[in-house]
Amino acid sequence: MKDFEGYLEWFLNLLVEYTPRLIYAFVLLIGGLLAIKLVRTIILRIMKKREMDPTAVRFLLDILTWVLRVMLFIIVIAKLGVETSSFVAILGAAGLAVGLSLQGSLSNFAGGLLIIIFKPFRVGDYIEAQGEGGTVNEIQIFATKLTTPSNQVIYIPNGALSNGNIRNFSKELTRRGEIIVGAGYGSNMKHVKDVLAKIVADEPKILDEPAPIIRIKGLADNSVNFQLLVWATNDNYWQMLSDVQENVKIQFDAEGIEIPFPQRDIVIRNLDKKNLPS
């Protein structure tokens, strides 16, 4: 019973001694988090006024936020009476152990830095990488967030992105499209080219420069294939391809030009009954 009273008295004394520290540390933590949020907002406004790259802005803000949070955590621990020098040493050792076990995450972090520095793509670009394609929404510390045309979200590790092939469809303002049109072997080739030239000339989304190219690409099994190489802006690209192919069908029907489909010629021969096997 005396031992219990002694432990209770020790606990109460400890509580009385540390309660002010706990309250102070809690207030410091809340105030520090609010201050970090305020600093983040101020820096964001400054970066936007200087028209910095949005990709770099988000990435740098994430790094700054985590650095400030770690510093705040160390300050709060110090106010609780924990020896900061020993705590920093423990934190460093733990960081080394975690770093060795999370080498993939560190490579993703380094990959994110490389993406920010060399800018193979930016927020808003449409890219294809690692077998996936989508619009870049966010470049985070460890991964890049893409949104596919079907509104699915994909996260690709930055390490894989920085070490792999990236196809950026938004890097240039214009794109060249290839359209293959098949015409029957019985068609007049000059007539077909004239009709295709008119379709291209009448399409407002096709750019005049670089000049469109219309030529025969190959003699296929069932058709003579014409190749249309036309340019459009990124915004009009997909609609241009659709409009041109729609107009090809309409104009070919109007001009009586056959668009052949796969077919086979079957020859039936009458054999002499004498030569048939019995």
Strand order of the β-sheet with 143-147 is: 153-157, 143-147, 132-139, 126-129, 166-168
Is residue 255 within 8 A of residue 184, CB to CB? The reply is no
Residues 6+ apart with CB under 8 A from 276: none
Out of 43-52, 79-88, 157-166, 217-226, least confident range = 79-88
Largest CA distance in the chain: 125
Q: Residue 179 pairs with which residues in a beta bridge? A: 228
**Percent of the chain at pLDDT exceeding 90:** 40
Average pLDDT over residues 142-160: 92
What pLDDT shows up at residue 30? 86
Question: How would you classify the pairing of strands 153-157 and 174-183?
Answer: unpaired
Q: Residue 215 pairs with which residues in a beta bridge? A: 227
Band (212; pLDDT cuts 50, 70, 90): very high
What pLDDT shows up at residue 108? 84
What pLDDT shows up at residue 272? 59
pTM of the model: 0.60
